[in-house]
Amino acid sequence: MKRPLTAILAGVALLLGGCNLSGESSTGQGTVNLSVGISKPTAGAHTNQRDVEVRIAATGGRVESAKLAYAGPSSGEIPLTPSGGVWRGTLPESLSSGTYTLKAEARVGSFIKESGPIVFVFDKDKPQITILAPTSPVTLSSASLEVRVRVQDAHSGLKSVKLFAENTLLEEKPGGSGEEYAFKVNRDTLPKGAVALRVVAEDLAGNTQEATVPVEVDRTPPTVVWKAPADGAVVSGTVTLEVEATDNVGVAKVEFFAGSTKLGEATSAPFTFNWNTTVYPDGPVTLKARAVDAAGNAAEATLTVTVANQDKTPPTVVWKAPADGAVVSGTVTLEVEATDNVGVAKVEFFAGSTKLGEATSAPFTFNWNTTVYPDGPVTLKARAVDAAGNAAEATLTVTVANAPKVSWVSPMPNQKLAGFVDLQAEVRALRAVSRVDFYFGPDENSLAKIPGSPSPSGNMYSLGWNLLHVSPGTYILKVEVEDVAGSLGTAVIPVEVASAFVITTPAEGDAVGPGVGHEIVAVTVGVNGTLPPGVTISQVEVYINGQPAGTATQQTATDGSQVYVYTWDTSQPVWDTSQPVPGHDPTKSGDRVITARVYYTGGDTFTDTFTNGVRVSYQP
């Protein structure tokens, strides 16, 4: 009785690589000779391949079928098909990793032959890598770096563990040396910059796993420069040591030394340390600053200072400029003369309680911008300090006067104005101008703002002024400028406002009428000055002694100007019948006052006896 191929063989102690079992059987056709042996995988193999090969040889008959049974973490059987002289098959894709026993079976007619069992390890699982050190990205210094890993493989065991720098193999260790592997990496064997160290583990079945350790290779030292104190300085008391340190990656710390004694360190900018010089004897001391980056690269800078803590004599300080009581504006040079028995370390300048700045060497000066101060008195103080901390002060008072300056450009003082004028003022200001306004009125106590906003052009400010509605007379014009600090500048001039319209003929005091041979009189009304933009004359009426005589007609004068002419026939009466007496009785001699009423866009106005009206003497 034959045994089924699907039975699990227990207690197999021998691994039979390529085991070939042959057998004979007598049939009605003759004797059948059949041999069956598994050639792939080999006995004891570790593999991640699922392909199997079985060699089957038969005489006295034809092999009709073949199959292979597998037993292990999972069990089953697969068919075999002939290909290239062997019978081939593929274990299931779902086959889990573990140790398996294989047996093959071939059939010739009713005769069945089995192979011997083959035991192998199927392993499709990658090894597991745990990085033990370093646990985070590191910057390599000149010292070597140890990379430690734990590598585990559940089935086939490890073949090798390798360490690469990018694609360059640094070291290889064979498997089987325990779960932990350590590699030494020297910075000088690596390229500069960011480098990926790769740990690659391979098991006996050919599975590989990779883990990466990022490192930064830094061979560039920092730069370090002293900022304070100055080389050769005389120091006393507690002195702030300060350096500027930079690095291509980052400065880890700056160490400060006095001679060979470490004073302390700073780990972040600004890199400073407060040094108590009183524990040092007076005399020269070499100071050293040592900057170290994260990779251990270092750079140093030194200077020499003189400790002077036994000096008790304060300096002397005397103001040279400006003079006490001076009036100042804009940028002013402050200057003092300071002396000391050992040496002046610095002179500090103050305006009130605000420190303006300091000078550390003669001439002790500072440029003071007065425009940021309101106008008025300011107390200036100069404080001289020597290396031992002894100090002396000197003060004075100045008056800041930065108010803007303004002057009239147009009109000129006492100028006669009429119609429309362009007001112009020139402004000189050290601070920004916040406003410019123009005013007018009969006196400085009764001023009204002229409407509109002046137009700036450089230092010039202009504003058009419509005088048509301003009664003729003498006025005060004022321009007022205010800067951003609230300081004011003003300029005042007197002007005379005249009527915009004037009777040009006849002249004041002319004799008219038949008695003087001047019976027909041309009353001419002209424009005094210029009219405001957009203003035109629509009608001009002429009056004799306040009663309407007629309407003037527009004509062009010889100079090209527009005038309005009324022809007055003095032989005819002028009488508004609503009045008790005529304005002009041609039978009676005497003075006649000629006036006009001009109608224009936006209003109308009269000339009168005192403003461009004309008084003539009539003779019948």
CATH code of the domain in which 513 resides: 2.60.40.10
- Clarify whether residues 377 and 437 are in a common domain: no
pLDDT above 70 (res 424): yes
Tell me: do 268 and 199 sit in the same domain: no
More confident residue, 187 or 383: 383
- CATH number for the domain spanning 456: value is 2.60.40.1220
Q: Residue type for 589, please?
A: S
Residue 589 has pLDDT above 50, yes or no: yes
* Half-sphere exposure at residue 602, Cβ-oriented, CA atoms within 13 angstroms: 10
Per residue in 295-327, pLDDT (tens digit) is: 888 999 999 998 888 878 899 999 999 999 999
Does one domain contain both 249 and 285?
Answer: yes
Last residue of a domain, one of 383, 400, 417: 400
pLDDT of residue 177: 60
pLDDT at 32 over 60: yes
The angle subtended at Cα 562 by Cα 557 and Cα 563, nearest 5°, is 75
Taking all residues of the chain, what is their mean pLDDT, rounded to a whole number? 90
State residue 30's pLDDT score.
64
Give the predicted TM-score (pTM) of the model. Answer: 0.46
Is residue 170 a contact partner of residue 164, using CB atoms and an 8 Å limit? yes
296 & 357 share domain: no
Task: Return the number of other C-beta atoms located less than 10 Å from residue 30's C-beta.
Answer: 11
Inside any domain, residue 362: yes
- pLDDT tens readout for residues 153-174: 989 899 999 999 999 999 999 9
Of 56, 88, 122, the residue at which a domain comes to its end is: 122
The band of 27, judged by pLDDT with boundaries at 50, 70 and 90, is very low
Same domain as 488, residue 470: yes
Residue 24 has pLDDT above 60, yes or no: no
Which has the closest alpha carbon to 443: 405, 478, 395?
A: 478
H-helix segments, 299-358: none
CB contact at 8 A, 380 and 333: no
Average pLDDT over residues 464-492: 92
Whether 68 contacts 104, CB under 8 Å: yes
The pLDDT of residue 609: 61
* Rounded average pLDDT over 379-404: 92
Tell me the C-alpha distance between 161 and 124, whole Å. Answer: 18
Q: Is residue 444 part of a domain?
A: yes
Token pair 């005819």: residue: 572
Name the nearest CA neighbour of 298 among 257, 258, 263: 257
610 and 541 co-located in one domain: yes
Say if residue 79 is in the same domain as residue 144. Answer: no
Q: What is the mean pLDDT of residues 431-446?
A: 94
Same-domain check for residues 510 and 596: yes
Task: Provide the percentage of residues in the chain whose pLDDT is more than 90.
Answer: 73
pLDDT confidence of residue 141: 64
Confirm whether 545 is domain-assigned.
yes
Give a yes or no: residue 8 inside a domain.
Answer: no
- The answer to whether residue 257 sits within a structural domain is yes
Q: What is the mean pLDDT of residues 83-97?
A: 94
Per-residue pLDDT band for 142 (boundaries 50, 70, 90) equals low
Predicted confidence band of residue 5 (pLDDT cuts 50, 70, 90): very low
Q: Do 25 and 67 lie in a common domain? A: yes
619/21 Cα distance (integer angstroms): 170
Domains in the chain, number: 6
In a domain? residue 173:
yes
Q: Which stretch of 21-35, 349-363, 503-517 has the lowest confidence by average pLDDT?
A: 21-35
Nearest to 115 by CA among 125, 107, 124: 107
Residues 299 and 374 in one domain: no
Using CA atoms, how far apart are residues 467 and 527, in angstroms rounded to an integer? 13
User: Do 386 and 372 belong to one domain?
Assistant: yes
Question: Distance from CA of residue 493 to its chain's centroid?
Answer: 51
Residue 5 maps to a domain: no
Q: Would you tell me how many other CB atoms lie within 10 Å of the CB of residue 194?
A: 10
Which of 268, 289, 307 finishes a domain? 307
Is 462 part of a structural domain of the chain?
yes
pLDDT of residue 7: 31
Between the CA atoms of 264, 267, 270 and 273, what dihedral angle is there, to the nearest 10 degrees? Answer: -10
pLDDT of residue 1: 30
Q: Where are the beta strands (DSSP E) in 41-178?
A: 46-47, 51-59, 65-71, 76-83, 86-90, 98-108, 111-114, 118-122, 128-133, 138-140, 145-152, 158-165, 168-174
From start to end of 528-580, where are the E strands? Answer: 537-544, 547-551, 553-556, 562-569
Q: Do 198 and 151 reside in the same domain of the chain?
A: yes
Q: Above pLDDT 70, what percent of the chain? A: 94
What residue numbers bound the domain in which 146 lies? 128-217
The residue-averaged pLDDT of 241-260 equals 94
Looking at residue 3, its pLDDT comes to: 33
pLDDT of residue 176: 78
d(CA 437, CA 454): 7
